[in-house]
Each structure stands twice: as C-alpha cells, then as structure tokens.
C-alpha cells in the first residue's frame, strides 16, 4: 500500500492540488493520504488576530492556535480534500489522530521551550492499526490532518511528516508499505543548484558516502534519518519527490524521484 | 441502536456539553451522534467579517459562509467532541456526509431564494449504509457534523435534524433504531407555559387529537411530521427531550421526554 504525505506548498495552490488529487485517486490498491497545513492557517489566523509564533522552525501552539489549526487543518483543508477525492471516485474518509483513536500522543513536555499543544507520538506501537485496517478493508481511503490527541480530551498539533512515518511503520506488519514524501524538489539532489540532478536511489551504503562527501546536508539529514528508521522498522521503501511524480510510481521505469531502501537491489 | 441529535444550545455551553457526552458515552450498544452548529460559528464569522444572513429562519450559505461552517462544524466542534468522547472511552470517529460518501446530496435549486451551498438529501436510499455499518461493526461511533456533499467536489450545509432522520431511516433495515432529538424543552408540552407538562407518549391517533385541540402547533408540527415519516419508514421510535434526559433512556421507567411511535404499545 501507499502512504503519501503532501505538503503545504501544494495545498496552497488549488490547480496543483487538483492535479495531485487526480493522480492520487488513480493509484490502485489500498492507500492513505497525510496532508500538512499551508499558508491558509496563517492567513485566517491573522484575520482572527492570532499571530503565528515559531521557535527553531516549530510553530508554538497556544490554545487559540490549537483552535485555529483544528478549524483549518481538520475542517477546511481536510474536508475539501475529501470532497474532491469523492468527486474523483476515491472513497476518502477524513481523520485526525483523535478519530478512531488512530494516533494517541503526549503533550510535549516543557524543557527550555513550551511548545503548547504540540503532540509527540511515543511510537508506531501506539497507533490503532486495527481500526485503520478495518477502514482500509471497507474500501475506504483515510485522509489525515496533522493533529493527534492526548486521550484526555485535548487535540494536539503534530508534524505531518512524523504522522506519515508512524502510520507507515504501524501498518508495515499488515501491508507492504511504500511511504512517499511529496515535497518542493524533484528528489534528493546531487547538486543543490541543479533541480534536475535527482539521485534516483539511495541505500544505507550510498547514504554514508553522500554524507561524507557533503552532498547530503542540513535539513535533508533528519529527513533521510527518519526514512532509514522507517525502513528498519519494516516499511519496504521510502520515496521522496515532487507531487507531480505520483504517476511515475506506476510506470515500468519506476518513481522519478529518489527511492530509499536499506540495501541496493 | 441510538441515533442522537444534539443541538447548538448544548454545544455552546461547555459544562452542559461535557455532561451530555458523559451520558452519551455511557449508552450501551451501537450508537451515532449528529451535532448542529451553535453560536460559535456566528462569533467566528463576525471576526472574519462574514455577516450571517437568513431567509425564513434558514441560513444562506454563500462561498465564504461554507468555508466558515466547514471550519467550525467539521473542524472545531466535531473534532473537540471526538477528542472528548475518546477521553470517555467512546471510540468516536468524526465525519461529514462527504466522508465515506456517507450522505450524498444536491445543491438546493434556486426558486425564489438562492440558499447558496445548502444541501438537500434526496432520501435515505442515497445514504451509504454499508460504509456506516462497517464503521459500527468495527466498534466505532460515528459523530456527524451537519454537512453533506454534492459528489462533484463541493461540501453542502445541511440541517442536522434532517441528517439524523435520514441516517435513522437508512439504518433501520439493519438495526432497531431509536432516533433521539435533544432540544431545549423537556419534551412535547401539553401546556406551553408549563415546562414540566411533558406528554410522555404520542401515537398517530393522539397526534391527530393534539393537533385538533391546538395543543401541538407551529414549529412542533413539522418536527412531529418528520418523526412520523421516519417511523413509517422503519425507525422503531422517535424520542424528543432535553439533553439531560439521556440517562433516563436506560431506566425501567423509560425516557423522561416524549416518546413517539406509530401505534400505542
């Protein structure tokens, strides 16, 4: 099965989103979509007088911001994606981690920074995989907004990449899972200045070399570390590429972005 | 099974909502909740510069209002109810009529008034009862926000009473369904001035008399007409009472509000 994460840059562009959803709906077999936030949350937040605050690239989620992201992520974005997928013949069901108790989490403990209502997921073993399997077996396609819950009545704002990775790992014992991250580049690049210099395949050995050579650096390192962690926990492949690469999943040439596996083969 | 509609007056009062959810979570067997809107949508709408507009008591749903109710009904209200039910041990899953294609509808045709993105449901036969049954059999409790979809990518604002009635009728071939409307009174009153003068039971014969005597009038007539229509289509009982009457469903005395059945029995 495919677990696909789509980021805010696509959600912010209605035409690009529509093309992506057409490609997603056309994928055969069981599948699951995780979407991020997008600029619309900040825009609506400003209208409501909620100023976005960040520390080290992470949004602080105070009580007002939690209301905002619940409205925008779980309401506006999630339900419009679901309605659009339904129009494309994909029987989507929109969810957060609170629905069906799919993803229990813990409010991030305050150390030096109080991130507010930010949720950390203990691990894939906390995911309610049975409920997700029941939905998938009923022919439904879960569409996740990036929210979890603490089991005590509060929703929690949670990173969409993390949700995708945890769901992929939790479902790996039940399905052959390919985890696909759609982001703003065509894949992992051999040359940061050349958008077409996509490295088509990275295994653990190659990853060590790429890091040693300084080709892979900065923000790509945690992304790839997470990818290898998912692979070590049973996910069969992690694919990184742009939203437009989705149709290439089904071609004989394979995925046009970067495919990540533990071993070459 | 119970299908329970809870109105905006309870949703607007956090303590009353919490007490209601405790009672709802305690109900045994399969169950389903439908919630209305509440004043919070108008409050947030005003902050966003969206003035509510009504014609004959029905809210007009222009494109901006549709965004607003999608955020507030399907996001803020629905997901907080789900998170609170999860904390009470009830495995809730929040939905709109777009999710799992549960309730397809049609944009209301423009005659003298253009209601905008308001959805009319053709009938219970359009409900995706199979998907709802799969969710119920997986031990999940669907929680519906008052939105449907047109199958062409657009969400539609739809009356919560109607959604509850259509779902009850659609599930009647599969379950013995009791449809419960929680509203602001203790039940149908024999004397509009006496809040405790609850008529405990109304059948078709009694309903004719009550109408002839002028005891039942105005807004209660369409409510009861709808109730009898549901009963004629297989719903086993329709109950009307206040949110606080929920625990009385399980007592030997039975429901403390008004129970409506086709025949006395």
- Of B39, B36, B40, the closest CA to residue B7 belongs to B36
Half-sphere exposure of A187 (CA within 13 A, CB side): 20
Supply the pLDDT for residue B195: 93
Nearest-Cα distance to chain A for B249, in Å, is 25
Chain B residues with a Cβ under 8 Å from any Cβ in chain A: 44, 47-49, 67, 70-76, 78-80, 82-84, 86-87, 91-96, 98-101, 131, 134-135, 138, 140, 147, 149, 151-155
The whole-angstrom separation of Cα B49 and Cα B116 is 18
Q: How far apart are CA A229 and CA A172, in angstroms?
A: 13
Q: Is the pLDDT of residue B223 over 90?
A: no
Interface test with A, best of B99, B141, B146, B154 (most A CBs within 10 A): B99
pLDDT at B217 over 80: yes
pLDDT of residue A265: 63
CA A16, CA A13: separation in Å to the nearest integer? 5
> Would you tell me how many other CB atoms lie within 10 Å of the CB of residue A163?
28
How many inter-chain contacts (A to B, CB under 8 Å) are there?
139
B48 contacts A48? CB cut-off 8 A:
yes
Q: Is A59 annotated as a binding residue?
A: yes
Nearest to A142 by CA among A191, A114, A175, A189: A175
Contact A174, A206 (CB under 8 A): no
Helices of type H across chain A: 8-11, 14-26, 39-47, 63-69, 78-87, 129-137, 160-171, 204-212, 220-232
| Extended strands (E) in chain B | 2-6, 31-35, 54-55, 58-59, 92-95, 106-107, 119-120, 141-144, 147-149, 155-157, 178-182, 201-202, 237-241, 258-260
Distance, in Å, from the CA atom of A36 to the CA atom of A25, rounded to the nearest integer, reads 18
- Predicted ipTM? 0.95
**CB atoms A75 and B70 under 8 Å:** yes
Report chain A residues touching chain B, CB-CB < 8 A. 44, 47-49, 67, 70-76, 78-80, 82-84, 86-87, 91-96, 98-101, 131, 134-135, 138, 140, 147, 149, 151-155
B156-172 pLDDT tens trace: 999 999 999 999 999 99
Which pLDDT score, from 0 to 100, does residue B81 have?
98
Does the domain at B2-260 match CATH 3.40.1160.10? Answer given as yes
Query: Max Cα separation, chain B?
Result: 53
Nearest to B93 among A47, A99, A153 (CB): A99
pLDDT in tens, chain A (265 residues): 999 999 988 999 999 999 999 999 999 999 999 999 878 998 999 999 988 777 777 678 999 999 999 999 999 999 999 999 999 999 999 999 999 999 999 999 998 888 999 999 998 999 999 999 999 999 999 999 999 999 999 999 999 999 999 999 999 999 999 999 998 899 999 998 999 999 999 999 999 999 999 999 888 898 899 899 999 999 999 999 999 999 998 887 889 999 999 987 6
Q: What is the pLDDT of residue A56?
A: 76
The verdict on a CB contact (< 8 Å) between B92 and A99 is yes
Q: 3-state SS of chain B: helix, strand, coil percent to 5?
A: 40, 20, 40
* Shortest alpha-carbon distance between residue B104 and chain A (Å): 10
Rounded to a whole number of angstroms, the distance from the CA of A219 to the nearest CA of chain B is: 31
The pLDDT confidence band at residue B54, using thresholds 50, 70 and 90, is confident
The CA–CA distances, whole Å, from A220 to A10, A210, B147 equal 19, 11, 41
Q: Which residue has the tokens 């995925």?
A: A255
| Listed residue (B254, B234, B236) closest to B245, CA to CA | B254
For A138, which residue in chain B has the nearest alpha carbon? B134
The answer to the question of whether A219 is labelled as a binding residue is no
| B132-156 pLDDT, tens digit each | 999 999 999 999 999 999 999 999 9
* pLDDT exceeds cutoff 70 at B265: no
On chain B, the residues whose CB falls within 8 A of the CB of A78 are 74-75
């Amino acid at each position: 099965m495919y677990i696909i994460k789509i980021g805010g840059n696509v959600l912010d562009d209605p035409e690009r989103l529509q093309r992506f959803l057409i490609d997603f709906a056309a994928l055969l077999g069981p599948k699951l979509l995780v979407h991020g936030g997008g600029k619309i949350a900040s825009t609506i937040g400003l209208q409501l007088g909620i100023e976005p605050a960040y520390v080290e690239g992470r949004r602080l989620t105070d009580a007002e911001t939690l209301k905002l992201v619940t409205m925008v992520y779980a309401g506006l974005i999630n339900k419009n994606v679901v309605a659009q997928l339904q129009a494309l013949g994909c029987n989507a069901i929109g969810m957060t981690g609170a629905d069906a108790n799919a993803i229990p989490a813990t409010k991030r403990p305050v150390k030096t920074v109080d991130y507010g209502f930010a949720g950390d997921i203990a691990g894939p073993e906390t995911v309610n995989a049975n409920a997700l399997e029941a939905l998938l077996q009923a022919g439904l396609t879960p569409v996740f907004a990036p929210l979890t819950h603490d089991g005590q009545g509060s929703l929690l704002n949670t990173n969409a990449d993390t949700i995708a990775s945890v769901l992929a790992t939790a479902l790996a014992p039940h399905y052959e899972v390919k985890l696909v991250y759609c982001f703003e580049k065509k894949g992992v690049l051999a040359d940061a200045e050349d958008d077409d210099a996509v490295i088509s395949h990275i295994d653990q050995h190659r990853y060590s070399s790429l890091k040693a050579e300084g080709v892979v650096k900065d923000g790509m390192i945690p992304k790839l570390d997470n990818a290898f962690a998912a692979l070590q926990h049973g996910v069969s492949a992690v694919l990184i590429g742009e939203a437009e690469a989705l149709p290439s999943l089904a071609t004989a040439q394979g995925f046009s972005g970067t495919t990540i596996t533990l071993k070459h083969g």
